[in-house]
Amino acid sequence: MKEDVIEQAEFAKYDGLTGLYSRQYFFAQAEKVLSTHQRKEYIVVCSNIVKFKLVNELFGTSAGDYVLKTLGGVVRRWQRDSHGRDVFGRFHSDHFVGCMPLGRLHMQSFIGYCQAVLEKLDLNINVNFTFGIYKVNDENMTVKEMTDCAIVALQSVTPNGSKPYAVYDNIMQDKIRRDQMLAASMKNSLDSGEFQVFYQPMYDFSTKQITRAEALVRWFHPQLGTVRPNEFIPLFERNGMIVLLDLYIWETVCQHQRQCLDVMRPIVPVSVNVSRVDFYHQDIVERLTILLKKYDLPPWVLELEVTESVYMDDPRQMHVILMQLKELGFHILMDDFGSGYSSLNMLMNLPVDTLKIDMLFIRQMDISQRAGDIIGSIVRMAQWLNLETVMEGVETRTQSEYLKNIGCNTGQGYYFSKPISESDFLHLMDEYTPPASEEIINTDYNMSCYKTIMAYDRKIMGLLDLLNGIGLYELKNSTLILLWANHGYAQIWGRHTLSTSNDGWNPIQPADQIIVQRSLEQAKWKKETVSFTYHSIHYDGHSMLMYARAHYLGMRNNGDVYLITFFDLTDWSCL
């Protein structure tokens, strides 16, 4: 038993793939080295492989692991030659860190040596490196803090730029301090409501109607003013705080949707971003499920956006989690599609429903014919795969018309609307009117209208011979009014009415009124037939269990019109 504990402790010191020190053990060993040498003669270096994800994509994760293992061997040999003055570790993926004397760093020689070794692997791809360097000059800093400085320098390096490295300086130091201030105030800002959710609508190119919206976060800091998302989101992803922020956004959106449904406001699905860190938490599916139950919401009101880069981090885990979310009824959008290297492989393996095409392509259309051709190719591919498409970054009418003509479903961008506050979004949705068929708007509700509707929707017409009861309804001011019913309907309830204006009889039990209401709302906004069960009351007073299917048809005099079919399950429920 004691030997097992010792073995596990020893194993935790090293990275299993490369044989280098693990993150925490690197910090401990580097502290020891610095304590026995002149600290100011040392540097901390962080490095990564440029476009390493491309290696995984083209050759598979086993090839990527082989590259990392090979590099680990190169670095270990380098470390042995230092006679204990160098310390190296692997943090994650292709990110390595080292602590060494300043004079030991021969950048070009090291890069050349690594590239020569990798060329023997016959990958047929150039493998390049970038480095961030911190020169130790503060006796009081921990190795972890020094490493953070080196990472900041690394992040400032432009891939394929003139220099593959950057040295930490005063400007970067100011950024570190600002990042520390932002991280320290994040939780308090969440509690104080300084983070606000904005909504950016997405519009159907054909109908010019809102079909969904994206939830975007804004940070109004009392001392720093408005903090841009491209500053604080990467920071929170690095330190893990993004999980708290994402949960806050998800819950805020659920609250918004629930409040709208409670007061009969129209809603559309709202998509929320799911970061790569969220997928590292095994309870992400449980967290989303708990939120839906807490606010009594169906999954379609909360859509989930993920990026291609998340898929590349851990394809297998992503597939498992997204399949679980799909089975629960969530709609999955792939954000920034086309910006990475995993597009085709991702489509083959991941259960996505909608592609959000990266705005880079639409921005390049004026100067590159190929950009427009690429958009058209993506749209056609999506149509073949039965996927919806959303074009991000639409800013002009010309772009909108082009996208409509090539069959793109939806647009998002400043041409339609910038991200707006919740109150402005509510006002926008209050003015929103979904498209309706002219047959419904311009025709009185009688038998001839019903026949017109049946001809208009052949799917419903095909059900006529199978259905027991059929009713045509208008929902207006929370009151459901029967406009027409067939003979089977009369046989079910013994009466042709749902109006409460005569004798107060209502065939929907009070406790199930909300079930019927929400089901009709779902049929309207999802634009598809919705099934539900509820408890009813026969005209003679006995209780009934009903199964219904509601199909939204359009509007009439500011009321919503539905065709609902009914089956009496009362006798079946006793079996």
| pLDDT band, residue 52 (cuts 50/70/90) | confident
pLDDT at residue 348, rounded to an integer? 73
Q: Give the Cα separation of 219 and 233 in Å (integer).
A: 10
pLDDT at residue 69, rounded to an integer? 87
pLDDT at residue 228, rounded to an integer? 93
Q: Are the CB atoms for 511 and 526 separated by under 8 Å?
A: no
Crossing angle of helices 422-430 and 242-262, in 10° steps, is 30
User: Range with the lowest mean pLDDT among 250-254, 362-366, 566-570?
Assistant: 566-570
Q: Are the CB atoms for 274 and 234 separated by under 8 Å?
A: no
Give the angle 436-439-444 at the CA atoms, nearest 5°. 115
Question: Model pTM greater than 0.75?
Answer: no
Q: Give the Cα separation of 131 and 106 in Å (integer).
A: 12
Q: Residue 159: pLDDT above 80?
A: no
pLDDT at residue 464, rounded to an integer? 43
Per DSSP, the three-state class of 203 is: strand
- Residue 561: its H or E element: strand 559-568
Q: Residue 135: pLDDT above 70?
A: yes
Residue 483: name the closest of 473, 475, 492 by CA: 473
Summarised one tens digit per residue, pLDDT across range 508-519 is: 888 888 888 888
DSSP string, 256-324: HHHHHHHTT-----EEEE--HHHHHSTTHHHHHHHHHHHTT--GGGEEEEEEHHHHHH-HHHHHHHHHH
Count CA within 13 A, CB hemisphere, residue 367.
4
pLDDT at residue 51, rounded to an integer? 74
Q: Residue 500: pLDDT above 60?
A: no
Structure tokens at 531: 């099934």
Say how far residue 557 (Cα) sits from the centre of its chain.
Answer: 38
Q: Which residue has the tokens 């959000």?
A: 356
**Which range in 73-87, 148-162, 417-431 is most confidently predicted, on average pLDDT?**
417-431
- Residue 461: its H or E element: helix 458-461
pLDDT-above-90 percentage for the chain: 30
pLDDT at residue 319, rounded to an integer? 82
Q: Residue 192: pLDDT above 60?
A: yes
Q: Bridge-partner residues for 221, per DSSP?
A: 225
